[in-house]
Structure 1
Amino acid sequence: MYSDFVTKNQSSVTQIESALRSLTYIIPGRFRDAELASESLHSSIQLLSMYHDTLLTRAISKLPGMPRQQTPHNRYTKFWIQRSTFYRRIATLLSMIQYTELLWEMAAKRRGEHIRWRVVVILEAIKAVCRLCLLKITNLRPLVTPPLPEREAISEESRDETPDDEYSDEGLSEAPKDIKEYKMKRTGLTLPALPSPGDISSYLLSRVLTADDIKAPSTLLNTVSGSAQLAELLHILQPLIYSIAMARNRDKKNWQPWLLGLSIEYAARQLRNDGLRTTTLEKSEWASRGYKMGMWAMRGAFYENVTKGLLHSTSQRLPSLIAGILEDYLYLWDGYYFSTSSN
């Protein structure tokens, strides 16, 4: 019953999730004594969203008719989830840790800094093991983020389809509501309504197959070897090495851990191969990793020596409401490792 409710009210469920998630973003540390409760709410929403994604993915797979067009990321991750139960379990475990890691750190910090850093290192070690397992399962193909399929929308027409509707089309959601479908007298089947003249171009472009659409899902990422394999291993182990260096370092303004972590990440980026056979999904993943390197400006010694002072001086010039929200985030960035983690 719950699965049917989520499937039939996908848009409403998504809006509620977004509203609750935005609420936790707006007041991350406003009630500092209740930060654990606030983060528990945020983690619970993320876990519930992940469960909803699973229900919607299962519902989409049962829809009749021709296969739906999917993003390369979803095609690739769905392929491995269906092929390997171990991949699905490891990817689910990795996602759950990423959604709850800040909550674990907050709980551990209440028992002291030593316990806190021990928990941080353990979580990074578990994530590294999970990523190494995913690398092995996929036959040395680069990791994708997130490791699970992302949520897809279910149109009203697709939801109401039956196996006898041989001429049904999921793209009819763009057709005008006042145009009725034509029902054939002899067979009783219905023909889909045509799109409005202003939507013909977008209607046709949405049905154009690209090279990635006809590739086997396993070929959307190339296997890595040589220097590219070393680059992927460095990318996986870098958070663990950085967390160990931070745990052993007592001075937040010491540049050694920050330079070590950034150097490993930069070396991993330089060692990867950008050949002619680079796929669209690979380019998207490399671009995402490049953007995440900007988070190093919010971590370690660079944050303590440079960014922190700039943000504090900026907050004094902003309106009180915006400054209050920024100061709440400064409280998180100052005290927690996973608040600025990008892995």
Structure 2
Amino acid sequence: MASSTTLDTVWEKVFERYKETWSWYEHWVSKNPTTVAHIENTFRILSYMIAGRFEESQVMSELIFAASNLLVLFHDNIFRRTLETFKSNICFSQARLMQWLTITSYMEVFIELAASRIGGEFTRWTMILVVQIFKATLRLILLLKYKYGIQKSTPISPVKRENIKAEEVNDENDAENNQSEKLSTSLTKGDLETSTHKEELTESLFKGRRCGRTVRTLKSSPPLSQRTWKLPEDKTEVSRLEVSMEPTELSKQRLIGEGIHIIRPLAHLSSMFCFGMNSWTPWLLSIGLDLSSLHFIGETDDLNPEEKSEVKRRTTALLIYLLRSPFFDRYSKMRILSMLKGFSQRFPASSLIIGPLMEYLPIWQTTYFYNWTV
């Protein structure tokens, strides 16, 4: 009996220690967004550096790259939970679906490569099919049940670290807020922070009376080494825009277009199974579905900025068909490789980047997820 009590006491102490450590880590992350961003970028750069260096480097590179993206998502959850600016009004079930879809998008390339190494081609294509069915199911639920609108390739966008202010639980900030509340009781805390930021932004800009051009004042200019031609941003409005972006209610025609985009990877897989991997039919079917989807979505004037950006990305992504088989194998492969080789010979320093790219391009081109899920 005594030993059981002792064991319970030990577990309580371990749990309390865990809670303290977790609370400290959340506090540190929310107060140090710049340092957090440097750590995340270090993992991402490391994934590029080890690509092609040894036999299993491709799998290891994708594992580190996926881990860096998951680390970003993990820290984003902390920012959204601890900072009022980034809190979201999305319901729990929708947020959970979006989170699983984002995690799958980050992990899918690693899953494919790992399955190929472990079980060969059959296991690889089985996992590809399972993941694509899983993603399409989640996307259709978001589209039809939650009216999510035009969906991005990764539903949860990373929080922009440069738009994160100091953590609101900071003691100094709390003291300043208390003083501000005493000076002006007619303003709420949120209104006070917004108005203060607006005043600072107005004082740092000057607008010409005749030309109407807005420039930065000399008083607010940064050091010469850090000076740019960009005007100061209203970070309060940017942060609110990131949170309050409501999806556009899609018409029946746009629902059809978005549905075509969602099922296109499955249609491509089915076509490859029926006609073979080297057939032109899957290539033509896929580009035809992409063009049809964009046609049904139509003009983007009434879409929100995120949805406009996504439609623009899908239009630009049509260029990737130049790198997709069989077009790549028969037409563009030698031209692209010869162009890269000539560029590296003309600019010797560029060979440090172009050399690994030329070696990695054929491997990258054969990976399904790089080519057919964007």
TM-score using structure 1 length: 0.76
Query: CA shift at 1:274, angstroms?
Result: 2.1
CA distance in 2, matches of 1:294, 1:10: 35
CA distance in 2, matches of 1:145, 1:256: 25
Query: CA shift at 1:284, angstroms?
Result: 2.2
The Cα RMSD (Å) is 3.4
CA distance in 2, matches of 1:128, 1:157: 37
1:127 alignment partner in structure 2: 135
CA distance in 1, matches of 2:112, 2:364: 13
Which structure shows the bigger proportion of residues in helix conformation? 2
- After superposition, the C-alpha distances for 1:211-246 in whole angstroms (9 at most, x for unaligned) are xx79x947x432122221110100111112113323
Of the candidates 84, 87, 90, which is equivalent to residue 94 of structure 2?
87
Q: 1:324 to 1:209 in 2, by over 3 A?
A: closer
Q: 1:174 to 1:327 in 2, by over 3 A?
A: farther
Query: CA shift at 1:196, angstroms?
Result: 6.6
Q: Which runs of 5+ in 2 are unaligned?
A: 1-23, 182-191, 202-216, 222-229
Query: CA shift at 1:126, angstroms?
Result: 0.7
Counterpart contact for 2:48–2:61, Cα < 8 Å = no
CA distance in 2, matches of 1:257, 1:269: 18
Of the candidates 46, 54, 74, which is equivalent to residue 77 of structure 2?
54
Of the candidates 325, 336, 347, which is equivalent to residue 311 of structure 1?
336
1:102 alignment partner in structure 2: 109
1:235 alignment partner in structure 2: 261
Q: 1:4 to 1:173 in 2, by over 3 A?
A: farther
Counterpart contact for 1:27–1:325, Cα < 8 Å = no
Q: 1:15 to 1:248 in 2, by over 3 A?
A: farther
Taking only the aligned residue pairs, the percentage that are identical comes to: 25
CA distance in 1, matches of 2:359, 2:27: 39
Of the candidates 310, 322, 327, which is equivalent to residue 285 of structure 1?
310
1:327 alignment partner in structure 2: 358
Q: Which range is displaced more, 263-272 or 239-248?
A: 239-248
Q: Does 1:338 align with 2:361?
A: no
TM-score using structure 2 length: 0.70
Counterpart contact for 1:104–1:119, Cα < 8 Å = yes
Q: Which runs of 5+ in 1 are unaligned?
A: 62-67, 69-73, 176-194
Structure of larger gyration radius = 2
Q: Which range is displaced more, 314-323 or 235-244?
A: 314-323
Counterpart contact for 2:148–2:247, Cα < 8 Å = no
Counterpart contact for 1:238–1:261, Cα < 8 Å = yes
Query: CA shift at 1:251, angstroms?
Result: 4.2
Q: Which range is displaced more, 154-163 or 125-134?
A: 154-163
Q: Does 1:244 align with 2:270?
A: yes
CA distance in 2, matches of 1:6, 1:40: 23
The one-letter code matched in structure 1 to 2:257 is A
Q: 1:288 to 1:173 in 2, by over 3 A?
A: farther
